Amino acid sequence: MSEPTLELTGISKSYLQGTPGQVDVLRGADLALQAGEVVALVAPSGAGKSTLLHIAGLLDTPDAGEVRVAGEDVTRKGDRRRTRVRRQEVGFVYQFHHLLPEFSALENIVLPQLANGAAQKAAAARAADLLAAVGLAGRAGHRPAALSGGEQQRVAFCRALANAPRVLLADEPTGNLDPGTADQVFAALMELVRGTGMSALIATHNLELAARMDRQVKLQDGLLVPV
């Protein structure tokens, strides 16, 4: 078996709150994602899945444990290196699209590529290809306000994949959509992921969608266990 694209080993994280004091959100969680694998992360609200995703995506650091991306231990690397790995190797999708309202769908996908050093022409071509892949070629010039909720989220998927990351992290990516739109958007996401060979960790409350992924894990008492 090849080296995991993302490997979490012994991840622990605690927070101090007024009552009851220290809250142990993660207590030694382990997870390995292989290239091309799509894993569902299921857990009730407050169980720590957003904390886990933030640590996996190098937006936060664990109190203990290791985060490896493409074989590199980046747990406690400097901010510059973590930012570079995050920009090049990790894509993020959230429940709300967070598209920049003053830019078109195409431009929202071009911008992260420019930040990563891509040439304008190549970035625009890739953005157009991604939009076509999710059925939005004809909406490339529209700003987010002129797009439906499902269209906005598909643009957000394309933006997350703009720099061809090895790992996609998604936090309730269809949670803000009606069931029919959620199913269409999820199908578009799966097609994008399958077509690139990246791995994906997708947090969802939707057990029907979770069942369509390669496997499911859940957060239980601060640990990740198979469903």
135-170 per-position pLDDT tens digit:
899 999 999 999 988 889 889 989 998 998 999 999
Instruction: For residue 46, give every residue at least 6 positions away whose Cβ sits within 8 Å of its Cβ, in sequence order, or none.
Output: none
User: What's the rounded Cα separation, in Å, for the pair 139 and 156?
Assistant: 13
Please provide the average confidence, as pLDDT, over all residues in the chain. Answer: 88
Residue 221 DSSP class: T
In this prediction the pTM is 0.88
Distances (CA, A) of 36 to 5, 118, 126: 9, 25, 21
Instruction: For residue 26, give every residue at least 6 positions away whose Cβ sits within 8 Å of its Cβ, in sequence order, or none.
Output: 11, 12, 13, 48, 51, 52, 55, 62, 219, 222, 223
Query: Where are the chain's structural domains?
Result: 37-60+78-215
Cβ count within 10 A of residue 15: 12
Superfamily of domain 37-60+78-215: P-loop containing nucleotide triphosphate hydrolases (3.40.50.300)
pLDDT band at 1 (very low <50, low <70, confident <90, very high): low
Supply 164's token pair.
């061809």
Using the CB atoms, write b or e for 205-222: b if 16+ within 10 Å.
ebeebbeebeebbbbeeb
